[in-house]
Amino acid sequence: MHDGCTFNHRYVKSNPHEVENATWMLTVFVQVFNCFGRQFCLHFEAFQLGMAPVYMAFLRFMGDDNEAKKFSYSLEVGANGRKLIWQGIPRSIRDSHRKVRDSQDGLVIQRNLALYFSGGDRQEL
């Protein structure tokens, strides 16, 4: 559990070839944190969107949809003097992560852009 409304996370692959591997496996990372006295979950996934391997990050609120709509959030990823920003409203935890992922209601990063942001060793994003 992370306390605070702002934090940085570095997504690191232990094998740099996994980032480029043609067989793109589902990877899920979930960070729970406390903000404004409420709990949120940051989801970060790697999956296949059609034929394209992508990363996706989105926020879910630990409560119902009406309460979730009272909040907003911003996610950003960047490197090499460039930045990609997503601003949104958290989804309720009552919406399955698959429903949120399938709606693409979050920061979607194509693999080639993720590789660009990952730096020279391609081990982290």
Q: Please name each of the domains of the chain with its CATH number.
A: 16-118 (2.60.210.10)
pLDDT band at 122, cuts 50/70/90?
low
- Here the tokens at position 16 are 């740099």
- Interatomic CA distance for residues 85 and 104, integer angstroms: 15
Q: Is residue 19 predicted with pLDDT exceeding 70?
A: no
Give the helix, strand, coil percentages of the chain, each rounded to 5: 20, 45, 40
Q: What is the DSSP letter of 81?
A: T
pLDDT digits (tens, 9 = 90+) for 40-71: 999 888 888 888 888 899 999 999 999 999 99
Label residue 24 by pLDDT band (50, 70, 90).
very low
Which pTM value belongs to this model?
Answer: 0.78
112 vs 105 pLDDT, higher one: 105
